[in-house]
Structure 1
Amino acid sequence: MAVNKLSNGKWQAQVFPNGRDGRRVRRQFATKGEALAFERHLKEQAQDKPWLGEKIDRRRVTDLVETWFNAHGVTLSDGVKRKGAMEFACLAMGNPLATEFNAKLFATYREQRLSGKIPRSDRVKSVTPRTVNLELAYFRAMFNELKRLDDWIAPNPLENVREFKISESEMAYLTLEEIKSLLAECENSRSKDLATIVKICLATGARWSEAEGLKGNQIRTGQIIYVKTKSKKNRAVPITEKLQAELSSSRKAQLLFKPCYSAFRKAMQRAGIETPAGQLTHILRHTFASHFMMNGGNILVLQRILGHTDIKVTMRYAHFAPDHLSEAMLLNPLQSLTI
């Protein structure tokens, strides 16, 4: 098989679809691209043997990623992020054929990723187990979705790959004294919106982006309606009359606050409050949930307030309940001894 340029300026594709002992097919084209495309087309036709079963799947894993994104991923809030992560992983694995992608290939990639042999940038040399767990979840979900769409008929190649077990991250929360100190610093901030945003987070368990992005038409009588949330579901959380009085009475779909993330960081520093990595603003949400349970709140009600789709996520706060595992004090063997 060959593609050659002829003396007349045209390109000739010469193909032996069934080998040198078979028939020869020759055809001329105006461009080299057309000749190569014709050659590739005949090769594919020769390899397809419909009498032996299904057509051979020559798609690369990146092709599956693109198909998944166009059919489903584009609707996800983190769809672009997932697509980028999977495309990076595919290229790091040599962009294998989809039919050759398997657990062993991914496990090797995962090992190299953890050891820093496959850095994503000059700054990021190695990653944590949580990162590769996410990548595993992305690929597994992609194959499952393609099976639902009848775009992948083979078993999910990663269905038996287990995630790495990782320790739960520390969930810090503010004490009442720290809350008072923080609010005082927020009141003294140059940002006139900062204190109100912090109060909304502490009163409703909202994420910082949800509170900072509130619009006038989301404030109803005694409620804040959170829309375009992480779970894709709207939720309404009651607020006190005192807090509602601090909010704008405008019903227009316009932002109520100006961005003040940096002002919050400075207020936390002035208050002398340190947080675990990645929990600067999220500590407000943790504080609401922790105090909610410590004050005797119901875990199912907390799930609805926070908007968690999985109760297991909310159960992280269960140990703050006053009677959590209190039987340990009454039923331990020392209680049965007379000392």
Structure 2
Amino acid sequence: MDTTTNYINNFLNYLKLQRGESPNTIRAYKKDLFEFFQFVKTMPEEVDSVAIRGFISEQILKGNSKTTVTRKLSSIRSFFSYLYSEGIIKINPARAVSSLKVRRNLPKFLTIDDTFKLIESPSEDKFIVQRDRAMLELLYGCGIRVSELCSLNLEDLNLKDGLIKVKGKGQKERIVPLGQKAKEAIKKYLAMRHILRIKKRFATQEAPLFINNRGNRISDRQVRRVVIKYAKAIGIQEKIGPHTLRHTFASHLLMEGADLRVIQELLGHSSLSTTQIYTHIDLKHLMEIYDKSHPLNKEEN
């Protein structure tokens, strides 16, 4: 194993053990860093800001989005900050590289009618269908991330008090309230899950909340397929996924007058600035209502 690979592996272990980053995040860091060092073809101690800018320029010329390039730059910065803090390098070359200005697109969200149609579309009295209904209820009713949904265990549920314990980014835990419909959907699903477990004799050492027919924890990809499947079934043509329901949750709360800091806590955002993007959505919604409802606008139409 060469020195660069050893540095990268030590950094990835630091991300996992010290910062509690998710496997997906660690994989992204690993991919970005190996791609960078394949480009510069030099040791970390010999990298300068010119080399980093060259890599970023090449990524832009390749046609990668600013969001993707910004993520790669963030990976490089974190890596060199780690090397600097460990005393491996005396100067951090990434500090001299300016950030890209990224235009943040407003997240897509569903109307209330489309949201209800989507959630209520799984209605058959079958294990998989009831599981799908419970997952959709949680994604919209609690605004949790797909990774948070998949990592839920039975012990994280408190149906009596209507609460769930969610592990967010960096393994930070938060308590999120369950709505009545979500509780009912989960109860129906759990009854069928219990019958399936006895019938197929699933191992009980680990108790993931959402499982497939073989008793294995459901994956992010499977959840995305579920959302797409039911969206298409009710005629939603736009490209949506589990994160769309998270955006919908936040947008609908704001429209109904919820405090932005409450939404921040429910979503598990570490910074209020991340949550503030939803104020732009609400403003857009208010403008649409104004255009449709104001008497002067009606006279013009």
**TM more than 0.5:** yes
1:167 maps to which residue?
A: 103
Q: Residue 239 in 1 paired to residue 178 in 2?
A: yes
Higher Rg of the two aligned structures: 1
Instruction: Choose which of 92, 95, 101 in structure 2 pairs with 1:156.
Output: 92
1:62 CA displacement: 4.5
Uncovered stretches (5+) of structure 2, i.e. residues with no partner: 195-203, 212-217, 291-301
Matched, 1:179 2:121: no
Please name the residue that 2:226 is paired with: 263
Residue identity matched to 2:177: P
1:315 partnered with 2:257: no
Deviations 1:229-283 (A, max 9, x none): 224211111123443233247998623333453233111011121345xx41111
Q: CA–CA distance in 2 between the matches of 1:73 and 1:198?
A: 31
Give the alignment's TM-score, normalised by structure 1: 0.66
Distance 1:310 1:67, change over 3 A: same
Alignment partners' CA distance in 2, 1:209 and 1:60: 33
In the alignment, the residues of structure 1 paired with residue 38 and residue 284 of structure 2 have an alpha-carbon distance, to the nearest angstrom, of: 52
**Aligned residue for 2:154?**
216
SS of structure 1 residue aligned to 2:169:
coil
Q: Following the alignment from structure 1 to structure 2, what is the Cα–Cα distance between the partners of residues 229 and 244? A: 21
Aligned to 2:296: none
- Determine the C-alpha separation between the residues in 2 that align with 1:87 and 1:294: 44
- 2:35 alignment partner in structure 1: 88
**Aligned-partner Cα distance in 1 for 2:3–2:281:** 49
When residues 210 and 82 of structure 1 are mapped into structure 2, their CA distance, relative to the original with a 3 A threshold, is same
Cα distance in 2 for residues equivalent to 1:242 and 1:182:
14
The residue matched to 1:235 in structure 2 has which SS?
strand
Q: Percent identity?
A: 23
Q: Distance in 2 between matches of 1:151 and 1:309?
A: 30
Which of 189, 195, 200 in structure 1 is aligned with 2:133?
A: 195
Question: Is 2:228 the partner of 1:282?
Answer: no
Aligned twin of 1:134: 71
Is contact 1:85-1:135 (8 Å) kept?
Answer: yes
1:110 to 56, 69, 80: 56
- Deviation of 1:193 (Å): 1.1
Amino acid paired to 1:181:
K
Residue 222 (structure 1) shift? 2.5
Distance in 1 (CA, whole Å) between partners of 2:286 and 2:109 is 21
Q: CA deviation at 1:143?
A: 1.8
Instruction: Provide the aligned C-alpha RMSD in A.
Output: 3.0
Distance in 1 between the 2:234 and 2:50 partners?
51
SS of equivalent to 1:181 = helix
TM-score, normalised relative to structure 2: 0.74
Extract structure 1 runs of 4+ deviating beyond 4 A.
Answer: 59-63, 249-253, 320-326
Partner residue in 2 for 1:36? none
Instruction: Evaluate the alpha carbon distance shift between residue 109 and residue 246 of structure 1 in structure 2; reply closer, same or farther with a 3 A threshold.
Output: closer
What corresponds to 1:20 in structure 2?
none
| Gap change, CA 1:242 and 1:181, over 3 Å in 2 | closer
Matched, 1:226 2:159: no
Q: Using a 3 Å threshold, how does the CA distance of structure 1 residues 99 and 111 change in structure 2: closer, same or farther? A: same
CA drift at 1:223: 3.4
Equivalences, count: 255
> Which residue in the other structure is 2:215 paired with?
none
Match of 1:73?
15
Q: Is the 8 A contact 1:222 1:241 kept in 2?
A: no
Letter in 1 for 2:43: L
Residue 322 of structure 1 deviates from its aligned partner by: 7.3
Query: Residues 301, 103 of structure 1: CA spacing in aligned structure 2 closer, same or farther, 3 A cutoff?
Result: same
In 2, Cα distance between equivalents of 1:234 and 1:140 = 27
Of structures 1 and 2, the one scoring higher in RCO (CA 8 A, sep 6+) is 2
What is the SS of the residue equivalent to 1:127? coil
- CA spacing shift, 1:223–1:233, aligned 2, 3 Å: farther
What's the offset of the Cα at 1:141?
A: 1.3
CA distance 1:231–1:301, change in 2 (3 Å): farther
Unaligned runs of 5+ in 1: 1-58, 117-125, 330-339
- 2:82 matched to which residue of 1? 145
Q: Secondary structure at the match of 1:187?
A: coil
